[in-house]
Amino acid sequence: MSTSPTSSPLKSRDRLVATATKLFYANGINATGIDTVIAESGATKGSMYHHFHNKDGLVAAYLRGEADGWHEAATGVDDSSKGAVERVALMFTIPATAIATDSFHGCPFTNAMVERPADPAIAEIVSDYRRVMAAHVAELIGADPEDTVVAQVVVLYDGGVTGAKQTRSAAPVLTASAMAQELVRAWIEGRRG
Amino acid sequence: MSTSPTSSPLKSRDRLVATATKLFYANGINATGIDTVIAESGATKGSMYHHFHNKDGLVAAYLRGEADGWHEAATGVDDSSKGAVERVALMFTIPATAIATDSFHGCPFTNAMVERPADPAIAEIVSDYRRVMAAHVAELIGADPEDTVVAQVVVLYDGGVTGAKQTRSAAPVLTASAMAQELVRAWIEGRRG
DNA sequence: ACAATAGTAGACGAACCTGTCTAATCTTAC
DNA sequence: GTAAGATTAGACAGGTTCGTCTACTATTGT
């Protein structure tokens, strides 16, 4: 651990998670067999079950990666030199651009809750994601994560993404983005006045 | 068809759809085997495949029923003697009460799009549902279904329901409801002034 | 009465799924 | 150098899934 990483491009475990991320998100968790993930990742069954207790373990690793990925994407598109309203708009470009590039298949967390409703590990990862998102929004606009306005922006984000998934169009995200911008504008106004 | 219905409590086809509705919504479409639906409905395999071409056919019938069910529920909780704002609030009581009675498992249409992303028949039923919902909201508040305000209320509805599914709590629905009421209030105000 | 539709009962195949297991090799830390 | 962890390769069992098929019976509209 203290030494430098090996020359190998990616360890078997990481390849498994990377492949699972691609397939689980694009085709669905239940629709993707473990054998497919193993074959496409170039790993073997022994390796898979050496690293993960069962499929649920791989699913959890996938979802944790998605949560981290969202946070990275959100900080990636952010620009702290801009105002709160514009920064919120930037956050909504994440799903908007995904739709434009046809790589959008809805919210991975919603999808996971639908496909694995009974798994408590998943429920907790989803909880974490929502905490991260609330904290991020709070930081963008200079609010407390517990403020009503943060919950409201989250509702709009969820609504935009869900509508986009159902309609296969970016329109709901754009509607939600405009609403969020107006909401934050009014919130700042109300705070100042 | 022109004569009165038979004494039989429910025809085989209807029992199949009724059972599918219960199981598909509660446990998921992919997680529910056709054999389970057949057994629990008291029908037989021959009957099932006499009425439906395959499982997708049953799923489509289930979803069409959910769309009709939503419309009935929405008109059921409505009260045309009330004002627009209150009528919108009433619409949001549909998911809110479902959550309270533990019979809530998210939006059936979102769930279906997640579990059956490639089925165009499902995409169309979801489209229909969204048209019905837009028309209903438009009627509640006296707007044109194409008005921005209608799309905005829909975003809030989707966001509330999605948040409730992810958090297993009614809070997002209540947040969304309050936002929708405020939105409609302001929209009416703006229209009058 | 007749024909079409609806239904019963269940065997069956072919495909898929997850997870276990054996047995040997490679890598890496110390 | 040695021991622990990581990996390969694939057979295998046990279960589930969907859909087909046969053969027979019941209902119902006209």
- Per-residue pLDDT of A71-120, as tens digits, reads 999 999 999 999 999 999 999 999 999 999 999 999 999 999 999 999 99
Give the residue from A1, A79, A134 showing the smallest Cα distance to A126. A134
Q: Is A114–B162 a contact, with Cβ atoms under 8 angstroms apart?
A: no
pLDDT at position A104 is: 98
A95, A173 in Cβ contact below 8 A? yes
In DSSP notation, chain A reads --SPPPSSSS-HHHHHHHHHHHHHHHH-STTS-HHHHHHHHT--HHHHHHH-SSHHHHHHHHHHHHHHHHHHHHHHH--TTS-HHHHHHHHHHHHHHHHHTT---S-HHHHHHHH-TT-HHHHHHHHHHHHHHHHHHHHHHT--TTSHHHHHHHHHHHHHHHHHHHHTSSHHHHHHHHHHHHHHHHHHHHHH-
Q: Is A130–B167 a contact, with Cβ atoms under 8 angstroms apart?
A: yes
Q: Is A114–B109 a contact, with Cβ atoms under 8 angstroms apart?
A: no
pLDDT at position A52 is: 97
pLDDT at position B5 is: 36
Residues 6+ apart with CB under 8 A from A75: A136
Give the residue from A129, A90, A88 showing the smallest Cα distance to A111. A129
Maximum pairwise Cα distance, chain A: 64
A59, A112 in Cβ contact below 8 A? yes
> Is the CB atom of residue A14 positioned under 7 angstroms from any atom of strand D?
no
> Is the CB atom of residue B87 positioned under 7 angstroms from any atom of strand D?
no
Given the structure tokens 């993930």, which residue do they identify?
A: A37
Give the mean model confidence (pLDDT) for residues A21-50.
97
pLDDT at position A9 is: 59
Nearest residue of A to residue B172, measured between CA atoms: A155
Q: How confident is the model at residue B10 (pLDDT cuts 50, 70, 90)?
A: confident
pLDDT at position B143 is: 98
Q: Which residue is nearest to nucleotide D27 (CA to C1')?
A: B6
- Per-residue pLDDT of A36-48, as tens digits, reads 999 999 999 999 9
Give the mean model confidence (pLDDT) for residues B33-61.
97
Interface of B with A (CB under 8 A): 27-28, 30-31, 105-107, 109-111, 113-115, 117, 123, 126-127, 130, 148, 151-152, 154-163, 165-168, 171-172, 175-176, 179
Whether the predicted pLDDT of A6 surpasses 50: no
Residues of B in contact with A176 (CB under 8 A): 155, 159
Arithmetic mean of pLDDT over chain B = 94
Q: Is A162–B158 a contact, with Cβ atoms under 8 angstroms apart?
A: yes
Q: Is A175–B156 a contact, with Cβ atoms under 8 angstroms apart?
A: no
> Closest approach of chain B CAs to the CA of A6, in angstroms?
38
Q: Which residue is nearest to nucleotide D16 (CA to C1')?
A: B33
Whether the predicted pLDDT of B22 surpasses 60: yes
pLDDT at position A37 is: 98
- Per-residue pLDDT of B69-125, as tens digits, reads 999 999 999 999 999 999 999 999 999 999 999 999 999 999 999 999 999 999 999
Hey, what CATH class is A10-52 in?
A: mainly alpha
Domain range annotation of chain B:
10-52, 62-192
> Closest approach of chain A CAs to the CA of B48, in angstroms?
24
